[in-house]
Amino acid sequence: MPTNWTADAVLRITSGFQAPCVVFAAVELDLFSALAGGAMSAEDLAGRLGTDPRATVILADALSGMELLVKDGGRYRAADGVPDVLTSDGAESVLAMVRHQANCFGRWTQLAGVIRTGEPAERAQTARGRRDGLAAFIGGMHNIHRAVAPELIARLGPPRFRHLLDVGGASGTWTIAFLAAGSDEATATIFDLPDVIPMAEERIAAAGLQDRVNLVGGDFHTDDLPDGADLAWLSAIIHQNSRRQNRDLYAKVYAALARGGRVLIRDVVMEPCRTRPPRGALFAVNMLCVTPGGGTYTFDEIRDDLLAAGFAEPKLLAESDWMDAVVEATKP
């Protein structure tokens, strides 16, 4: 950031919404998938997408100016590498995550009202409809975590567990990574909302782990957690909750764990000043927009809430300037 703010510096920040909005529109319309098979005229592209021809030309030209598309003689094709990251079948697809970010953006545009009332923003209607939001969120988490999970687990050292409880385990990305790194006899339970369980079932089956993973639908705000685990994993969960909600969740995790079991919490861990890491401070704004009481927390806050739930010896196992900090605590 500049040490001496100028009008140009401010305007560079405030105009930064334009390029993301162009990409958000393209992924909501699935434009890049339409072009994955080869070049098209704007007219043909509009026909494929069901969009207005003039508006499609303007969007495609903007994407070409951004070098995501290549325009040649009135025809457009995806630039090299784009189908790999912005189509659902791409080898390194982040399509779901970009769609999730588009959903978040709709709420960020209401930020002034959120600050005025303290209430989360209303869901914005997208071109794909609201039903796509959950799939985009779950898919986006997989986009981000599929590479992060094995690396972070390796940093933590060989995982010691007989049965893992993956709370809010989404489609199973972390469960798969833990089972790959642990004993061949280890098993796991994924606990998440009933609407998410079919997504987990599909990914667990694709990994060939159906015999080692139990899938349980429920809501940790209202339901007890499945018991019998000696390791509980909470990845990117606590920032969605208020501290009161986290104390309640930790108490449920404590009740579900076997004696001597451990809980590992992966999330942003803020410094006491609450301005660092900077991405964590911005992420707290995201939680303000999308949740009634969520936020980012310091280690002292996480430690105190774990102790209040009965856990012993909370410690920071891994530091991170983003969401890969890990806190551990033990059930005596």
DSSP result, 191-206: EE-TTTHHHHHHHHHH
* pLDDT score, position 125: 62
* Average pLDDT of the segment spanning 227-247: 98
Domain covering 7-83 in this structure, CATH number: 1.10.10.10
Strand partners, 330: 262, 312
Residue 147 confidence (pLDDT) above 90: no
> Same CATH fold, 152-330 and 7-83?
no
Domain ranges of the chain: 7-83, 152-330
Residue 208 confidence (pLDDT) above 80: yes
Residue 51's pLDDT band (cuts 50, 70, 90): very high
Residue 131 confidence (pLDDT) above 60: no
* pLDDT score, position 142: 81
Residue 134 confidence (pLDDT) above 90: no
Residue 193's pLDDT band (cuts 50, 70, 90): very high
* pLDDT score, position 287: 97
Q: What pLDDT digit, counting tens, does each position of 264-300 carry?
A: 999 999 999 999 999 999 999 999 999 999 999 999 9
Please report the sign of the dihedral spanned by the C-alpha atoms of residue 301, residue 251, residue 171, residue 153.
Answer: positive
Work out the percent of the chain whose per-residue pLDDT is above 70.
96
Average pLDDT, the chain: 94
* Average pLDDT of the segment spanning 68-91: 95
* Three-state DSSP state, 105: helix
Residue 126's pLDDT band (cuts 50, 70, 90): low
Q: 217 is written with which tokens?
A: 């639908």
Residue 127's pLDDT band (cuts 50, 70, 90): low
Structural fold of domain 152-330: Rossmann fold (3.40.50)
Residue 188 confidence (pLDDT) above 90: yes
Residue 200 confidence (pLDDT) above 60: yes
Residue 144 confidence (pLDDT) above 90: no
Give the ranges where the chain is alpha helix by DSSP (H): 7-14, 18-28, 31-34, 42-49, 53-65, 82-86, 95-108, 111-117, 132-156, 173-181, 197-206, 243-256, 278-290, 299-308
Residue 197's pLDDT band (cuts 50, 70, 90): very high
Q: What pLDDT digit, counting tens, does each position of 60-71 carry?
A: 999 999 999 999
pTM: 0.89
Give dist(CA 185, CA 179) in Å, integer.
Answer: 9
